[in-house]
Structure 1
Amino acid sequence: MSADARAAAGAPAAKKSGFRPDVQGLRAIAVLFVVLYHAGVPLITGGFVGVDVFFVISGFLISTHLLESLESHGRIRFGSFYAKRARRILPASLLVALLTVVAAWIWIPPLLMNEVAKGAVSVALYVPNMLFAVQGTNYLAETSPSVFQHYWSLGVEEQFYLFWPAILALGFWLCRRSERRLLIVVSVLTAISFVLCVVGMAISQPWTFFALPTRAWELGAGALVAFLLRSGAPWLRSVRTGLLSWLGLALLVAVGLLYTAATPFPGYTAALPVIATALLIVGGAAPGGANANRLLGVRPMQFVGAISYSLYLVHWPLQVIPQVVAGEESPLPLWVKLLLGAAAFPLAWLLFRVVERPVIAWAPLRQRSQLWTGAVALAASAALIATGGSSYLLTQEEEAATDVAAAAEAPRPNPEGTDFVPENLTPSLEEAEDDNPTIYADGCHRQEPDTDPSGCRVGDDEDAPLVFLFGDSHAASWYPALAELAEQGKIRLDTNTKSSCTSADLRQLESGVEYTECDEWRAGVIDRINAEQPDLVLLTNYPGAPPELVGGNDDFPAKWQAGLESTIGKIDGPAVDVPNQGSTSAVCLSAHLEDAQECAIPVGEAFDAPLVTASEAAATDSGATFLDLGRYFCNEENCPAIIGNTLVYRDGHHLTAHFSRQMAEPLWKELEPTIG
């Protein structure tokens, strides 16, 4: 061993932080993962883990800085810390948010501006992750992805920064200024957060994904790496420790290539990208050339790492806004999404050079009281709230219909549809999202966690035939029509509907986790059907966006047919469904008041032909009846969004309660022969 090598191997582990090119390169990997994933690159199916890499890096760097402050001064200068964080994070994020609001106001349909305004306010208040957690648990919220959805991770980090300095300072004091004892405290807190993350996946995946308590362990893992590198452990000084960075890099690449949207996440699966990042940071701190620092330190990686924050901010609106303009039913081709991803790089560089770096070094803020930074941050947040609110109010002043009325029209086969948005549209475009069957409000429709198989009865005539409605939210869409028949005394109705739970006998995944609540509920309903012996069971489900199945979705039509046959074999009932519009009709119509036919969906795209065939075959082979009501929704060319003066769909594939009620008589014409 040379003298230089011996010196390197024997050098004490550095406690002071400094610029690390390998960490900059790691930032580049993280942001490239995210950008390529959102651009739809087929190979990067697990690119979403780039955010987890950022979490670990942030936890490592912030904790290193805070521990140095505790070591040097015995305390943390909270004002200085928060001022530095504000100058680092807020200028670029708030400017991009403000420009995003303006771009949305110019280009996206007016009906979406309410969601844009909500997102802008949540960003200004540093709680976007909480907004998306709430929206993620609302099954009825079916809108395009928010232009601010990527801000959720900033919300997690900002909330972490709010609490973490105080936790470390208090822990340091309680541990009598012992960093080793503080390490135990941090380890326990990190472990608790990880357990919450794993357990939370079985309770609510959206809250587990977006909430700080269930994601803090990833930043905590970075903090543990900071403690480790400050410990001076002898093995950290070994050249061979650098091999850990190669192991981490291989693991991270494997995760990026092998994870998919069907992977349960975060939960325990998030541990792999977190561990990989920790290995890269630890290995990168080792002396010698055995680590991956040379690869991570190449100039292109350093450039992308430097602009990674700005790149993360700008790339998402560039993908989302053009897609909303094109319409969710018309996915942008891969080459367009790649061009949009490429366009994010020069914009990010400009943001980095003009905003991000200059504000950090801006003398008037750095040299004055931290209160100045706080005041500027509050003013910028207020400006964003004002811009978001103003843009929403401006769109509210725009007309949401023409000044021409349309005649009411009862449902009939081959409807031509109304080619404009009438002033007497029912429900109005603004009210469409909330035009739900009453079973959502009265608790008769079961949400995902609920397994109660009891139903709700409508109709007082004991001599009327008993009809069981059985299925997912599409079954719930038919409730107004069936309730109308029950109120007329033609049937007695028993409702059995549950969100995202098909009545077909299939083992489903919900957010990557086996949907056992669906299996339990379905079995309970079938048992109740066998006990009640109804005159008719009406099955209806939404296979238009096939649920993820345990074991995969290969040859889904065959599995769908087998699942329906299994259920029908235990009961007797016809099956119906409605067209799939692809995107929310009201949103499209708000941008095409004079040409509503632009929002009609071609017949060939409205139904999944193989699944329709499978459903019909399942009914026929099982001796049941297949009810084809598609002719009441579609003509030979398309499926209009407005028939007469009635809006047909409240979102992409659920009927409005108003139109469903109008379908009572056509539905009875189909049902009466099967009952008699």
Structure 2
Amino acid sequence: MLVVLFHSGVQALSGGYVGVDVFFVISGFLITTHLLETLERDGRISFASFYAKRARRILPAALLVAVLTLVAAWIWMSPLLMRSVVDGAIATALYVPNYFFALQDTDYLAETTPSVFQHFWSLGIEEQFYLFWPALLAVGFWLRRRRERRVMVLIAVVTASSFLACVLLMDISQPWAFFSLPTRAWELGAGGLVAFLLRSGARWLRAPLTGLLAWAGLAGLAAVALTFDGNTVFPGWSAALPVLAAAALIIGGAAPGPLNATRLLAVAPLQFLGAISYSLYLVHWPLQVIPQAATFSDAPLPLEQSLALGAVAVPLAWLLYRCVERPVIGWRMLRQRRQGLTGLVAAGASLVVVLASGGVAAVSAQQPLSSDRTAAPATATPDPAGTSFVPANIAPSLDAVAEDNAAVYDTGCHNSTHDADPAGCRVGDDPEAPLVFLVGDSHAASWFPALEELAEEGRIRLDSNSKSSCLPLETDQQYLAKEYTSCEQWRDGVLERIDEEQPDLVLLAMYDSPGRLQDEPGTSTPAQWREGLAATLAQIDGPRVAVMKDVPTQHLNPDECLSTHLEEAQACAVPREEAFEEDLVEAEDQAIEEAGDEVERVDLTRFFCNAQTCPIVIGNTVVFRDTHHLTTTFSRQMAEPMWEEIEPLTV
């Protein structure tokens, strides 16, 4: 319930992702209980039987959903995304999706366009855990002379070591701490320790008051689900809270008497969800991700749509449970034959997924990424009509649009969110050319190619100063909902350099996005924006200053949308009236007007938009590499219009 509602956009359950941690504890508890009972009864573990049962339990539903997800993604998603979809499908078929996402440095809680197979990471953890856990228990049971309490000590040491590894790795690589088995095994191990505890016969476990632990566990899970969010440092120490809550819930639920939570958890609707929970987990994620990806936007689906998709997942999960999950577990042909047959069938099913992935990859590679018509080379002209199709000579090609980024990123001249070095980078060696300081966030970096052209031609000397998500505004800002202190340090350093070097022109550029500012009680965002810009302008004493009007913001990712609208490129363009944050534009205009004659506005909107739309393709050039950054190709073409605007300001 927590995971499905969280992925369905219920913001109140901002920590609903901890449902996976609860699953780990339950899984570790159940499998350890089963293995300990087997060891007590038989004195040994039949590994062939164990793995055959696990395969029949887990793989049929998982691999079927993987194939259906692959096909659905091929039908509805952009062909540009299919390479990552296919890679995810193959990693899933090979039971290593968690390491696939770790290698990609995936941020599970921050991904705007997550993989349709991303939810399989937890199954990868579980499957890999099953490889070593039975052997560990069997060896421990033998070494400790069949004494469970001694084996429990061994399991506690392994679990504690895994938890320590998780905490330590968080400071090195959060994705690896999140996705790798060694740093997540402790959560399943915690469930295993609960199994040992409940089998220990401790007197306090049979006390009626112990049932209160179940309610404490439920309260703890509710508190975590309501207070954790995407900014919580996770897993690490934070993951201990849902794990301990789940453990308390299991221990308290096993206690006798009326104080435990059995009556609540035994109600029919919860029992139904419990029965279909595995199938529900499998189907709910692609139902959310594929429709969102089909919109070609990073914006989440409207809440009502996400909730509807979450609701649709329930009957689909029931069908999967009744028609696949349960029947295969009891399939006589597999249960009564040698266990190796189950392994062969499982390997064959995985091979089917791999082959299907290869087929989808081959078909996707043949899909065209342009029409068969060409367009005249782009030139910067006012009121561009836009090209109504994707030209065969389009620049950059659609599969290269997202990477057509300013050179400052590769050369290290653009500061990351962690870097506060205000040194800047110089381009142009004509000592007689006017010195222009470019200052701002990634939108300023988008203008670097245009200004670089002017610098290389000797018309200016460029000093480029840009930092990701850092507005050139003297006001408190945030990044990922946290105070953005490195932004303030960097901005102050750049302003000091401007004061020392006294350039001929300071060019400010920024992304007009209201979510970048920290809230100031009693002050509206436009007012805070105006005051922040006014404060920055007041600090620049001597040089002329120009403030760029922001480029239009598109609603759709250009490459993804164009790849499915080869003959109707205008369908991907944003209407002009929706392309700008007008209240922030007006706030900037007010600050510029109040600053006096030394500050000018540079507005190049006429080269991006006509009266109706702001096209994505102009001539044979793609304008944007994403929803709000210019491609390097188009930025270079704007060098001459830029010069026409700033030349009078440098005299």
With the length of structure 2 as denominator, give the TM-score of the two structures: 0.89
1:328 maps to 2:304? no
Q: Name which of 596, 599, 615 aligns with 2:569.
A: 596
- On the 8 A contact 1:315/1:344 being kept in 2, the answer is yes
1:248-271 CA distance string (max 9 Å, x none): 212322333344444444444433
1:124 maps to 2:93? yes
Q: Alpha carbons of 1:626 and 1:65: their partners in 2 closer, same or farther (altered >3 Å)?
A: farther
Q: Distance in 1 between matches of 2:44 and 2:469?
A: 51
Q: Alpha carbons of 1:595 and 1:156: their partners in 2 closer, same or farther (altered >3 Å)?
A: same
Q: Distance in 1 between matches of 2:199 and 2:228?
A: 33
Q: Distance in 1 between matches of 2:180 and 2:486?
A: 23
1:675 maps to 2:650? yes
- On the 8 A contact 2:15/2:229 being kept in 1, the answer is yes
1:160 maps to 2:135? no
Partner of 1:430: 399
Q: Distance in 2 between matches of 1:132 and 1:562?
A: 43
Q: Name which of 550, 554, 558 aligns with 1:581.
A: 554
1:381 is displaced (CA, Å) by 1.8
- On the 8 A contact 1:263/1:512 being kept in 2, the answer is no
1:546 maps to 2:521? no
Q: Name which of 66, 88, 95 aligns with 2:64.
A: 95
> Which stretch shows the higher mean deviation, 628-637 or 596-605?
628-637
1:479 is displaced (CA, Å) by 1.9
User: Residue 546 of structure 1: SS of its match in structure 2?
Assistant: helix
Sequence identity percentage: 60
> Which stretch shows the higher mean deviation, 179-188 or 237-246?
179-188
User: Residue 414 of structure 2: SS of its match in structure 1?
Assistant: coil
1:437 is displaced (CA, Å) by 2.0
1:462-513 CA distance string (max 9 Å, x none): 2323333333332222221121111111222233333344444566555566
Q: Distance in 1 between matches of 2:518 and 2:160?
A: 31
Count of aligned positions: 644
1:375 maps to 2:325? no
Q: Name which of 225, 248, 253 aligns with 2:222.
A: 253
Q: Name which of 224, 234, 247 aligns with 2:193.
A: 224
Q: Distance in 2 between matches of 1:162 and 1:612?
A: 59
Partner of 2:584: 611
1:588 is displaced (CA, Å) by 0.5
Q: Alpha carbons of 1:553 and 1:336: their partners in 2 closer, same or farther (altered >3 Å)?
A: farther
Q: Name which of 592, 599, 613 aligns with 1:638.
A: 613
- On the 8 A contact 2:414/2:465 being kept in 1, the answer is yes
Partner of 1:410: 379
Partner of 1:13: none
Q: Alpha carbons of 1:249 and 1:330: their partners in 2 closer, same or farther (altered >3 Å)?
A: closer
1:312 is displaced (CA, Å) by 1.1
Q: Alpha carbons of 1:625 and 1:586: their partners in 2 closer, same or farther (altered >3 Å)?
A: same
- Supply the AA of the counterpart residue of 2:13: I
- On the 8 A contact 1:265/1:512 being kept in 2, the answer is no
- Supply the AA of the counterpart residue of 1:337: S
- On the 8 A contact 1:416/1:643 being kept in 2, the answer is yes
- Supply the AA of the counterpart residue of 2:187: E
- Supply the AA of the counterpart residue of 2:316: L
1:208 is displaced (CA, Å) by 4.0
Partner of 2:116: 147
Q: Distance in 2 between matches of 1:137 and 1:506?
A: 31
User: Residue 465 of structure 2: SS of its match in structure 1?
Assistant: strand
1:111 is displaced (CA, Å) by 2.3
Q: Which runs of 5+ in 2 are unaligned?
A: none
User: Residue 111 of structure 1: SS of its match in structure 2?
Assistant: helix
Partner of 1:7: none
How do residues 3-42 of structure 1 correspond to structure 2 at under 5 angstroms?
32-42=1-11
Q: Distance in 2 between matches of 1:415 and 1:509?
A: 36
How do residues 388-399 of structure 1 correspond to structure 2 at under 5 angstroms?
388-399=357-368
1:595 is displaced (CA, Å) by 0.8
Q: Distance in 2 between matches of 1:592 and 1:653?
A: 20
Q: Name which of 435, 453, 459 aligns with 2:428.
A: 459
Q: Distance in 1 between matches of 2:510 and 2:135?
A: 51
Partner of 1:659: 634
1:60 maps to 2:60? no
How do residues 74-473 of structure 1 correspond to structure 2 at under 5 angstroms?
76-136=45-105, 144-169=113-138, 179-198=148-167, 204-328=173-297, 332-473=301-442
> Which stretch shows the higher mean deviation, 334-343 or 566-575?
566-575
- Supply the AA of the counterpart residue of 1:486: A
- Supply the AA of the counterpart residue of 1:475: A
1:538 is displaced (CA, Å) by 3.1
- Supply the AA of the counterpart residue of 1:669: E
> Which stretch shows the higher mean deviation, 70-79 or 469-478?
70-79
- On the 8 A contact 1:544/1:607 being kept in 2, the answer is no
- On the 8 A contact 2:517/2:525 being kept in 1, the answer is no
1:421 is displaced (CA, Å) by 0.8
Q: Distance in 2 between matches of 1:210 and 1:547?
A: 30
1:563 is displaced (CA, Å) by 4.5
- On the 8 A contact 1:202/1:513 being kept in 2, the answer is no
Partner of 2:603: 628
- On the 8 A contact 1:579/1:607 being kept in 2, the answer is yes
User: Residue 36 of structure 1: SS of its match in structure 2?
Assistant: helix
- On the 8 A contact 2:296/2:557 being kept in 1, the answer is no
Q: Which runs of 5+ in 1 are unaligned?
A: 1-31
Q: Distance in 2 between matches of 1:553 and 1:284?
A: 49
User: Residue 318 of structure 1: SS of its match in structure 2?
Assistant: helix
- Supply the AA of the counterpart residue of 1:54: F
User: Residue 457 of structure 1: SS of its match in structure 2?
Assistant: strand
1:93 is displaced (CA, Å) by 1.0
1:117 is displaced (CA, Å) by 1.3
